[in-house]
């Protein structure tokens, strides 16, 4: 189990927001934290601590330059997502991203668009692609959500769909949107199921708020999943010491 750091960028600033308040028109966004530091400050921190596989997420428009600064500060140390397409993915890889992360581009009209997915794989290679299966619960099942987590698709996350999607990518990133940014604890059912379904590196995001949550997550998943933490960290305005998390995961 590795700790994967994150840099979320909204309107050109490093922020932590409550994920399911990020509407298409930005009118109802709940901000947990707005940093006084630019993205390269955090990238340098993660580079210093030798944390690999973290992700930069561009939440909407106006974040390109801020994201590029982070990638250039830590070449091949960070992945990038948010508005990635087959047409623009190459630019981010050329500017230092180790992988590109994609969701909405390959899910449109509620369906997995295999044509777009295959075009992206052809453009960047399976080994440099991360698929984000951010999901919400509906009727006791997990479904991928897109368009800033506002739109349900009909793509159910289960053992069969995970096996299918793994054939196209190097890693998975899965946000538990119902708890993302709320610091209310992990979505235990989802985490446990994911650990039994995945066979490639997979990062879980959502709800971690304490070292005890980290330990519970490790036990629940048998250490098979990595995880990322945002709003709960003291570097993003929370109470959980970043250094404590880094030290805990180094000792595993």
Q: What is the 3-state secondary structure (H, E, C) of 137-206?
A: EECCEEEEEECCCCEEEEEECCHHHHHHHHCCCCEEEEEECCCCCCCCCCCHHHHHHHHHHCCCCEEEEC
Q: Which domains does the chain have, with CATH numbers?
A: 6-250 (3.20.20.70)
Q: What is the pLDDT of residues 36-86, one digit of tens each?
A: 999 999 999 999 999 999 999 998 899 999 999 999 999 999 999 999 999
Q: What is the pLDDT of residues 145-185, one digit of tens each?
A: 998 788 999 999 999 999 999 999 999 999 999 887 777 79
Q: CA–CA distance from 226 to each of 5, 22, 93, 175, 200 (Å)?
A: 10, 25, 23, 12, 11
Question: Does pTM surpass 0.85?
Answer: yes
pLDDT given for residue 27 in this prediction: 58
Distance (Å, whole) CA 127 – CA 210: 33
Mean pLDDT confidence for 81-94: 97
User: What six digits make up the tokens of 140?
Assistant: 């006791």
Closest CA to 137 of 184, 102, 195, 187: 187
């Amino acid at each position: 189990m590795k700790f994967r750091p994150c840099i979320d960028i909204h309107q050109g600033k490093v922020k932590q927001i409550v994920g399911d308040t990020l509407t298409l028109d930005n009118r109802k966004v709940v901000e947990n934290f707005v940093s006084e530091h630019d993205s390269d400050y955090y990238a340098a921190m993660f580079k210093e601590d030798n944390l690999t596989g973290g992700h930069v997420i561009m939440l909407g428009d106006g974040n390109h330059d801020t994201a590029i600064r982070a990638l250039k500060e830590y070449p091949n140390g960070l992945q990038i997502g948010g508005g990635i397409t087959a047409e623009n993915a190459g630019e981010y890889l050329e500017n230092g991203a180790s992988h590109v992360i994609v969701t909405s581009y390959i899910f449109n009209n509620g369906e997995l668009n295999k044509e777009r997915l295959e075009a992206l794989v052809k453009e960047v290679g399976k080994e440099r692609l991360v698929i984000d299966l951010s999901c919400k619960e509906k009727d006791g099942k997990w479904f991928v959500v897109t368009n800033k987590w506002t739109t349900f698709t009909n793509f159910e996350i289960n053992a069969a769909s995970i096996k299918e999607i793994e054939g196209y990518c190097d890693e998975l990133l899965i946000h538990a949107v119902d708890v993302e940014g709320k610091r209310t604890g992990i979505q235990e059912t989802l985490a446990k199921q994911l650990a039994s379904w995945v066979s490639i590196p997979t990062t879980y995001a959502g709800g971690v708020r304490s070292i005890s949550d980290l330990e519970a997550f490790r036990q629940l998943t048998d250490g098979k999943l990595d995880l990322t933490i945002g709003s709960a960290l003291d570097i993003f305005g929370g109470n959980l010491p970043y250094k404590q998390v880094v030290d805990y995961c180094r000792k595993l």
